[in-house]
Amino acid sequence: MPKLSRAKLEERRLHILRAAAACFDREGFHRTTIADVRSEAGVSTGAIYTYFPNKEAIIRAMLEDAQLARRTQLGHASQAAGDRHLERAVLMQWAQRVFTEEGAHIARVDVNLWAEALRDPAVAELAKRALANATRTVAGAVDREMRRTSQAPPGIDPRSVASVLVEILLGLEVQAAVGVTLDSTGILRVLAELFPTDPRRRGASRRAKRKSNRRPRPAA
């Protein structure tokens, strides 16, 4: 049998992970078996065990891949020439994705993993580590933006801002996962105001608000 290339091996690994995510979405983590993943992926049981010895290893791979994707996106954005605020745009894209079909699927998988974390200490450790890594990654982007724009309010540190942003995204995910109808336009407008892709928008918005609240002077 010819040896598979590294690219082919990685393609098969990702295929198995996508199949597992579909099973977790449909059946939940606890009810999903390796046999379910094998059937969804259309591969042999041995092929799955070549990459993942158990379901916990599948979860770990999903979380690590998601972490790598976040770091890669923000890393490319931070190094992009000619657009100093691209990292902000990436953060907004993550929020926008929650309102898509792909985002709802990811949300259902995430919620199922969190539910399993309540019963399985090993999964709980993976989940806590993933959240800490996500917050650390976002905090790095926030810190760079604060330094570039010199807009850091006194007493507010990047990690606190990152924690709030991550918690907002998690809250949106929970609602998307259970099928709550969300006002995507309104929510994204609020997020854009809190964390605009162009800092000039915030200043313009505040100036417009002050102008609208200014009382007209009485006629002499």
pLDDT at 6: 83
The CATH superfamily holding the domain 62-201 is Tetracycline Repressor, domain 2 (1.10.357.10)
Average pLDDT over residues 161-182: 92
Distance in angstroms (rounded) separating the CA atoms of residues 195 and 187: 12
**How confident is the model over 114-139, as a mean pLDDT?**
90
pLDDT confidence of 218, banded at 50, 70, 90?
Answer: low
pLDDT greater than 60 at residue 217: no
Specify whether the CB–CB gap between 172 and 187 falls below 8 A: yes
Place of tokens 């604060």: 146
The whole-angstrom distance between residue 43's C-alpha and the CA centroid of its chain comes to 29
Share of the chain above pLDDT 90, in %: 44
Q: Where are the domains of the chain?
A: 9-53, 62-201
Mean predicted confidence (pLDDT) in 72-91: 74
Architecture per CATH, 9-53: Orthogonal Bundle (1.10)
* H-run or E-run covering 37: helix 34-41
Identify the pLDDT of residue 17.
Answer: 96
Q: Which tens digits make up the pLDDT trace of 57-68?
A: 999 999 889 888
How many whole angstroms separate alpha carbon 83 and alpha carbon 76? 11
Contacts for 12-19: CB closer than 8 Å, 24+ residues apart: 12/43, 12/47, 12/51, 13/51, 13/61, 15/41, 15/43, 16/41, 16/43, 16/47, 16/48, 16/51, 16/52, 16/58, 17/58, 17/61, 17/62, 17/65
